[in-house]
Amino acid sequence: MKLSKVNRQQKLKEKIEEMPFITDEALSKEFNVSIQTIRLDRMELSIPELRERIKTVATNQWNETVKALPIDEVIGEVVDLELDKRAISILDISNEHVFSRNNIARGHHLFAQANSLAVAVIDDELALTRNADIKFTRQVKQGERVVAKAKVSNTTENKRTKVEVDSYVDNEIVFSGMFDMYRSTERQKGEVEHEVSN
The predicted structure's pLDDT at residue 187: 56
How many Å apart are CA 185 and CA 51, to the nearest integer? Answer: 36
Is residue 196 pLDDT above 70, yes or no? no
Mean pLDDT of 58-82: 70
Domain spans, the chain: 5-49, 62-197
Thinking of the domain 5-49, which architecture would CATH place it in?
A: Orthogonal Bundle (1.10)
Digit-coded pLDDT (tens) for 80-101: 888 889 999 999 999 999 999 9
Name which of 107, 100, 90 is nearest 169 in CA terms: 90
Amino acid letter, 136: F
Answer for the pair 124, 67: CB distance below 8 angstroms, yes or no.
yes
More confident residue, 66 or 178: 178
- pLDDT band, residue 77 (cuts 50/70/90): confident
Answer for the pair 126, 183: CB distance below 8 angstroms, yes or no.
yes
- pLDDT band, residue 154 (cuts 50/70/90): confident
> Helix crossing, 5-18 with 24-31: angle to 10°?
130
Degrees (nearest 5) of the Cα angle 156, 162, 165? 160
> How far is CA 74 from its chain centroid?
12
Digit-coded pLDDT (tens) for 39-59: 999 999 999 887 777 666 655
Q: What secondary structure does DSSP assign to 144-160, as a single string?
A: -EEEEEEEEEEE-SSSE
| Those residues with Cβ within 8 angstroms of residue 55's Cβ, 6 or more apart along the chain or in another chain | none
> How far is CA 36 from its chain centroid?
26
Do 5-49 and 62-197 show the same overall fold?
Answer: no
Answer for the pair 49, 38: CB distance below 8 angstroms, yes or no.
no
DSSP 8-state secondary structure symbol assigned to residue 74: S
The CATH code that applies to domain 62-197 is 3.10.129.10
Per the prediction, the chain carries an average pLDDT of 85
- The pTM assigned to this predicted structure is 0.65
